Amino acid sequence: MSAILAVRGLQKTFGSVVAARDINVAVPPLQTVGIIGANGAGKTTFVNMITGHLRPSKGTIVFCDRDITGRPSREITRLGIARSFQIPQIFQSLSVFENMCAATAIAHAAGGLPAQLLTPWRAPGSLRQAEAALELFRIARYRDTPAATLPQGVRKLLDIAMAVAGSPRLLLLDEPTSGITIEEKFELMDVVMSALKDRGITVLFVEHDMDIVARYADRVLAFYDGAVIADGSPAQALADPRIQELISGPQLKPATRSAGHA
C-alpha cells in the first residue's frame, strides 16, 4: 500500500532552536494518527511544515506521490490537505453560518480568482452544503451567533468544519481539544470522528490526553525535542514508561498539562 503522506529527513531550525530533527514518517491512506508530545516538542512545527505554513530547513514532503515541500499553503490546500488550528482561525465579524458559507463558497468556486468572480456568494448549492455541515458538526443551534462570542468548543468545531468543506484527503488537527473541559473533549472528538467517517479522509491529530489518543488513533507518533521517539500502536506507545515520562512530563508537575499553550 503506497503512502498518502511520506515525510523524509524533515528538519526545521529557528536560529539555534531545532524544532524538527530528521523526521521520517509514512502514513497510509485512511489511517488516524495521534501525535503526542510535551509543549515545545515540535508537533505544531510538524503540522505547519506539511501544510505549507513553514518551509522546512531540510527534507522532503510527498503527498499522493507529489513533492509539496515548500509549496504555499493555499496550493497545498487545493491539492487536498486541510487543517485546523490550535487557536481556531475563524472570521470573527461573521456569524457561524456566514463563516461556514465562506468555506463552502470557496470550495464551490474551485479554479482561483476568475471562478470566484463568476460564482455567486449565495449559490443555493453552497448554502445547502453550509447548512448540512453545521448539522453534521452539531453546531447548527449556533447558526446565527456572531463568531466572536462563541464558546471554545464551538469555535474548535467550526474551525474543523470549515477545513473539511473543501473535501480534503488529508486532515491535520492541531490540538482539537485544547482549552475545553475533560468531559467535552470526548464529546468533541466523537462529533468530529463521526463527521469524518466514511468520507475517505486520513487524519493526523495532535493531542495531549492519552485516553483520547488511545480511543481514536490507529497509530501514535511521539515527539520529543523535535524528533519522533516512538511510532507504533497506541497500546505499545502508551505502555512504554519512557514515553509516559518524556511526553507527559514527570508526575511532579501535573499542572503544566492544562495550563500551557504553545
Ligand X SMILES: Nc1ncnc2c1ncn2[C@@H]1O[C@H](COP(=O)(O)OP(=O)(O)O)[C@@H](O)[C@H]1O
**Site mask for another protein (CB under 8 A), range 132-151, x = bound:** ------------x-------
Map residues 39-58 to x or -, x wherever contact with another protein holds by CB under 8 A: ------------x-x-----
Distance in angstroms (rounded) separating the CA atoms of residues 182 and 11? 34
List, in order, residues 6 or more apart from 83 with CB less than 8 Å away: 47, 51, 163, 171, 172, 173, 174
Q: Could you tell me which of 50, 59, 62, 130 has the C-alpha nearest to residue 97?
A: 130
Instruction: Look at residue 68 and give the partner it binds from Mg ion, ligand X, another protein, none, a contact being a CB closer than 5 to 8 Å depending on partner kind.
Output: none
Report the site for another protein in 162-221 (rule: CB under 8 A). 162-163, 165-166
Count of CB atoms situated within 10 Å of the CB of 114:
9
Give dist(CA 216, CA 219) in Å, integer.
9
Does residue 131 touch another protein according to CB under 8 A?
Answer: yes
Interaction between residue 262 and Mg ion (CB under 5 A)? yes
CA dist 190 and 194 (Å) reads: 6
Greatest CA separation found in the chain?
Answer: 60
The backbone torsions φ and ψ at residue 180, rounded to the nearest 5 degrees and listed phi first, read -130, 165
The three grid cell numbers given for residue 39, joined into one nine-digit string: 509543549
Residue 87 binds to Mg ion (criterion: CB under 5 A)? no
Please tell me whether residue 77 binds Mg ion under the rule CB under 5 A. Answer: no
List residues binding ligand X (CB under 6 A): 14, 17, 19, 37, 39-45, 262
Q: Give the residues across from 219 on adjacent strands.
A: 33
Nearest distance, CB of residue 259 and another protein, angstroms: 25
252 binds, among ligand X, another protein, Mg ion, none (CB under 5 to 8 A by kind): none
The three grid cell numbers given for residue 184, joined into one nine-digit string: 467535552
Q: Does 129 bind Mg ion (CB under 5 A)?
A: no
- What residue ranges bind another protein (CB under 8 A)? 51, 53, 72-75, 77-78, 82-83, 85, 89-95, 97-98, 101-103, 105-109, 112-113, 115-122, 124, 127-128, 131, 144, 159, 162-163, 165-166
- What residue ranges bind Mg ion (CB under 5 A)? 44, 262
